[in-house]
Structure 1
Amino acid sequence: MAAPPDLDPSSIFSEKHSRLPDDTVFYAIFPDFSLTSTATSAASLHSLHLQILQTLTPLTSDYIWQHQPFSLLPLRPPPNSCLCSNHLPHLHGHLRVGDNLDDEWFTVFLLFHISTVFPDLSIRVWDSDGEFLLIEAAFHLPRWLNPQTSSNRVFIRRGKVHIVPRHRLRNPNLAEALSFVVSFGEESVAAEAVQAAVRKRIEEYPEKARRNMHRVRVRVPAAVAQVLSQEPCLVALAVEGFYDRDIDTMKYAAKMERFLSRGREEEELVCISVKMSRAMYAQLVQQTFQAPKCYPMPNRSDSAYVEAELGMKIACGLEMMYQHRRKEGSEGKGSTWEAFRESLERSGYFGGLLPGSKEYQRLMQNAEEYYRSSASFSRASEMMSAPVRRIDEILALPYSVDDFKCVDVPPSDDDSWLYNGEDELNSELLERQKEMELYDLKHKKTQKSKEQDNVGPSSSSNSDAFNPGDIAKTMQAFVEKVSSYKGAEVPENRNLKDVDLDADCFFKDVESMMKSHGGEEGRSDDDIEEGSSSDLDFDDSEDGIDGAELSEDIEDGEDTFMHSYSDALNEELKSTTLEKSFVRANEQAPKKDEGTSNAAEDMEEDFTPVDVDVNLVKSLLDSFSSQQGLPGPASNLLGLMGLQLPQEDKKEGK
């Protein structure tokens, strides 16, 4: 049967068709030999796979994972449903962490451990939030790094975090980024502050993983005790079945067909010790659940009631999980089918038909038939049925209640941590708050230091030590900055490129404009219109002027133009009093009571250069003084540049 358009079940978990689960961490391990040739043999990946699992076994053998254990699968191209890479051979896996965040960081620790033992590997790890290693070190990252620019940049290699620098690779793909990390690893190693932030989260592992385990005494039916004694990790599925129960699965707990086959009167509870994570223990204890009528429970006054109640929750969870997976395994549906069905709806396969209508049912039946013929059906059925088959194998072996009566069961671990969690949470929040405050303080100090280096020393802290020379230095730094379309910018630490100005072209254009208005002063307006030689006429071929000749004429006239331009400015300024307001080098500013009758004549022949800095400071101070302590342009401009002028003392009698 033909598949519905664009609905291959093998690709439903691609990033294009599916949203990543919120509580799942993904990881991929890329060996260096996968970069040299995509024809890497399956034997090489398989050998690496076995070596890694053998290395991790001592660290994970006694650990109870919340939902599923740490696993790796070798993948050679061309894969059909890989979130990591479609063309590079690698090992990959994913882990649902649920409510137990310790599983995620224990996984990170294992990946760092792998990268240390096997130095020729590059590892990626991420979740639905993205590069969560960067989130952990957010206060220490370079400013350019953000969720939009972090794609294919973050790796774990040789026990360190590597970040591919942007100035080396602008938008790298996975192969380019891996090649860079392998060839130029010393450049991609993240800053020590980033390393320390990540290392702080995993430095207590694997000891912290062992502390996260909680042992508790429970009383359960013999069948449950037999299963948990052979496969302790199945307690995770039992807790999951109990915690995620719904109306349909609770019907299985009401009958207890698999784990309470003898009936309530004949069934005897046995005492065993069960190891689980603290998160699992909290999920069992914090929920109230009424025991099914068919389940044998002691009286509430009995000292074993608490142990029996906890065991009842585990037994019911195991029953619900077993029956649910057996049904889903036979149908081959589960989460894979749900994802496939959602992809049908997104693609418009049902054409807006109402669920339950005849045509809708026909299309759904066609989709189910196609799904059963796909490889996804086989994989889903195998995955769902695996715990069921294992339980059947265990219970098929002979066992009895007497097997558990003579066993010495250790006491339960102290669970005071369950009720003192508020203190631990507050401590964690205070630590995060302190980290944020230190970051803000460091950021402010850095900004202040940059402002002082680029703008000049500020006089706001000590008005008595005010130096007028600071104004000239600050203004010089200000005018050297390049403005943008937004206006003038206050000096700060910027690496802006210089303005690319073609001076020769600029002077040629200005000279051509001056020639059009200079030269013959007696020409009428009509003559100007007829004989205009503006830049608009440069391309007019009717004049018969060759471009090279025009260029030579302009070059020859440059010196003449500059002299003429300077003379014209001087002549214009002679008729004004502007020259009287300037202070020249080695000269004091003229006093108000001094006469100025002969000043113009003296200044005409005085070629002493003007002291630009002194005139600038004098003008700004005069403007500031005229404000009389009120806001104004001088104080606003200097304030933006980090300078604060001292206020004038009030005169006596005022």
Structure 2
Amino acid sequence: METTTDPDSSFSSIFSHNNSRLPDDTVFYAIFPDFAIPSSSSQTPTPQLYSQLQSLHLQILHFISPLTTHYIWQHQPFNLSLSSTTTATPHHHIPHLHGHLRFGDNLEDEWFVVFLLFQISNRFRDLSIRVWDTDGEFILIETAFHIPRWLNPDTSTNRVFIRLGELHIVGRGRFPSTPTLLDSLSYLANSGDESRASELVQSAIKNRIGDYPERAMRNMHRVRVRVPMSVAQVLKHEPALVSLAVEAFYDRDIDSMKYAAKMERFLSNGSGEEIVQVSIRMSKAMYAQLVQQTFQAPKCYPMPPRSDTTVYMEAELGMKIACGFEMMYQLRRQEGLEGKGSTWKSFRESLENSGYFEGLLPGSKEHRRLMENAEEYYKNSSLFSRASEMMSAPVRRIDEILALPYSADDFRGQELPPSDDDSWLYNGEDELNAALQERQKEMELYNLKHEKKEKSKEQQDAGASSCTNLDDSGLGDIAKSMQAFVHKMSSYEGAEVPENRDLKDVDFDVDRFIKDMESVMRRPVSEDTGRDVELEEGSSSDMDFDESEDGSDIAEPSGSTFMHSYSDALNDELKDTSLNKSFVRAKEQQPLKEDEGTSNALQDMDEDFSPVDVDVNLVKSLLDSFSSQQGLPGPATNLLGLMGLPIPQDPKKEK
């Protein structure tokens, strides 16, 4: 079994989420069969084991072939490679299959890969599969409203896997601290359904990938184009090469434009090259990249007059594809000769990071000498031959195709399907709004569940609330109405007094926004309540352990912790002042009777600074203000009158 570094392993480790060289638009995956899990980290893989891996490799590729045959990938097709112990870190000496795929602007490629991995795990039952991108475990983002709350980017390492066609999570009950990859794989192979994520998690994933592979086919766009005969010949034999042509066109620079200006390979007869009409398939992302780019045809390229709009549009799109083929062909041919590309860049970066150039200025004599030595060493390494082969592979295939006999008659008289409707390119707002509404519904359901939990806790903690200590005279309603007044929306015309104490909704739902903000900053709820919600959400028993260090399911924000500490310090400062005698404390609540007036509402203060009862203080202050008016108009009378609240007279004052 060959163990040298392959092109897919040009990164320091396929398991590294933080490698600075990882492209931002790449998805990575690794497949671990149970038979390859060693009993200990020191166990050495055998040749027989690699033979089993090779057999599994071929079976998987054969299984997914019908699903991917007619799909045009944005940059590169789905691929799998056998692991190499020379590229694994000390903690990852586990034979496996792995691959990566750059999806670029076409996010559908990434989720199609996820669908394929779920299908593979459903077909081959003894596999544990990891999938991630540079955002980490991106599947967790899709299921964010349903996963256990302790699970986040910092705690998800070696915990999230695809197995048996479903998502599995290695819980903290089994491994309180971060498990090793070997520990997690061994646990998954023997745990059965214990690690299976909740039904809501499975449902969220199913909603995202449930309509594949049909959705993948709907992501294709068929269009008629007019291209040079040589381009038509290449597309006839290798339709997937259109992705490389679109990529070269979309990422063109000044150097590659020089190749397009000459069109030496695909317009060898100059403007005399015959242009033929063909129908090609590409992804919708590719089509958008071509259509929305303004590009002037090279002087040597034959273009029809603009008078025939349909013919001109087909020729313009074909011209962009032909120029893309020319740029891709020439660039890859040059890079193939030099054996450079991404592997050379990685090799050069490793030299720079290791201090090989000793801080020398680029372009200096000594720097050039060291660079020449590095290039010479690189050309003699296996990396050079592999990079050269990889970069020049499309070039060799194109040369093979164009070496075959072909003529314009091969493309004449064919019945071509009409171009697909491209209104989706201009009317994507409805699809975006539908996606946003779906997310909004998820958020509303999530908030509703936790509002119920908060209300349940508030009812438990209410106890001897200040409002319950007020009698039927309506003093409790004063506090409620004042709270309603404070929370009522105001405008440039001033504050709105609650009409008949019946709050009405406003057009702009600011209350929901405020509640959402409060829910973020609210203190943690009790452990039992948190567990009830997790059970309600369908979590497995392994997910129902304490959600945070203190047993609550929502970690208290650092800002909230600071505010409580600040409040305690402030209370200590005010404890010895006369200010503490100005407020009614929660433990001092006494029933407020109409015949007793406000003078008996308070008892002597204890020495400890107990919490202030806001409602009682509010009612007391209003009644004191009303009493001091001695029946004359004043702020308290006007405010409470607007609210429709009658104020009882103080019997002692009347006497």
Q: TM-score, normalised by structure 1?
A: 0.71
Work out which of the residue numbers 443, 447, 455 in structure 2 matches 1:448. Answer: 455
1:380 CA displacement: 1.3
Which of 21, 45, 52 is residue 44 of structure 1 equivalent to? 52
SS of corresponding position for 1:58 = helix
Q: Which residue of 2 aligns with 1:428?
A: 435
For residue 621 of structure 1, give the secondary structure of its aligned residue in structure 2: coil
For 2:228, give the aligned amino acid. Answer: P
Alpha-carbon distance, 1:445 to partner:
2.0
Pair 1:157 & 2:163 matched:
yes
Cα deviation, residue 620, structure 1: 4.2
> 2: distance between equivalents of 1:193 and 1:9?
35
Report deviation, 1:403. Answer: 0.7
- Structure 1 contact 18–339 (Cα < 8 Å) conserved: no
Q: Deviations over 1:165-211 (max 9, x none)?
A: 01211221101001111111322111111111111110110110011
Tell me if 1:29 matches 2:31: yes
Q: CA deviation at 1:17?
A: 6.0
Structure 1 contact 9–371 (Cα < 8 Å) conserved:
no
Q: Deviations over 1:562-593 (max 9, x none)?
A: xxxxxxxxxxxxxxxxxxxxxxxxxxxxxxxx
Q: Which runs of 5+ in 2 are unaligned?
A: 1-6, 40-44, 474-522, 529-545, 552-584, 624-647
Matched residues in 2 for 1:380 and 1:184: separation?
43
Deviation for aligned residue 1:638: 7.2
Cα distance in 1 for residues equivalent to 2:525 and 2:592: 22
Question: By how many angstroms is 1:91 displaced?
Answer: 0.8
Match of 1:403 among 403, 410, 426: 410
Contact map agreement 1:454 1:492 (CA 8 A) in 2: no
Tell whether 2:379 aligns with 1:372: yes
Q: Mapping of 1:201-240 within 5 angstroms? A: 201-240=208-247
CA distance in 1, matches of 2:229, 2:273: 8
Contact 2:469 2:590 in 1 (8 A): no
Q: Which amino acid aligns with 1:90?
A: H
**Structure 1 stretches lacking a partner, 5+ long:** 1-7, 467-488, 499-615
Cross-structure match for 2:579 = none
- Pick from 94, 97, 114: which aligns with 1:108? 114
Distance in 2, Cα, partners of 1:349 & 1:448: 64
Match of 1:278 among 264, 278, 284: 284
RMSD: 3.3
TM-aligned CA deviation for residue 347 of structure 1: 2.4
Measured in 2, the distance between the counterparts of 1:84 and 1:59 equals 36
- 8 Å CA contact retained: 1:451, 1:493: no
Cα offset, 1:345, TM superposition: 2.1
CA contact (8 A) 2:162 2:168 kept: yes
For residue 12 of structure 2, what is the aligned residue in structure 1?
A: 13
Of 581, 603, 611, the residue aligned with 1:637 is 611
1:201-239: per-residue Cα shift (whole Å, max 9, x none)?
A: 101101100111100000001000000000000000010
1:267 deviates by 1.1
1:268 Cα deviation (Å)? 1.4
> Who is 2:251 aligned against?
244
**Distance between the aligned counterparts of 1:465 and 1:150, measured in 2?**
55
| Offset at residue 43 of structure 1 (A) | 1.7
> Structure 1 195/254 Cα, relative in aligned 2: closer, same or farther at 3 Å?
same
Cα distance in structure 2, aligned partners of 1:440 and 1:93: 39
Match of 2:323 in 1: 316
1:131-150 aligned at under 5 Å gives the runs 131-150=137-156
Matching of residues 310-349 of structure 1 within 5 Å = 310-349=317-356
2:396 paired residue number: 389
- State the SS of the aligned residue for 2:447: helix
SS in 2 for 1:188: coil
Distance 1:455 1:331, change over 3 A: farther
Shift of 1:106: 0.5
Distance in 2, matches of 1:9 and 1:52, equals 18
State whether residues 66 and 280 of structure 1, in contact with CA within 8 Å, keep that contact through their aligned partners in structure 2.
yes
Q: Distance in 2 between the 1:284 and 1:168 partners? A: 52
Q: 1-side partners of 2:599 and 2:526: how far apart?
A: 29
8 Å contact from structure 1 (residues 64, 236) kept in 2 = yes
Give the distance between the partners of 2:617 and 2:609, measured in 1 at CA.
7
The 1:12–1:364 alpha-carbon spacing in structure 2 relative to 1, beyond 3 Å, is: farther
Is the Cα contact below 8 Å between 2:226 and 2:278 reproduced in 1?
yes
CA displacement, residues 454-493 of structure 1 (integer Å, 9 cap, x when unaligned): 6658675996699xxxxxxxxxxxxxxxxxxxxxx99844
Once residues 417 and 490 of structure 1 are traced to their aligned partners in structure 2, the CA distance between those partners, rounded to angstroms, is: 46
3-state SS of paired residue (1:350)? coil
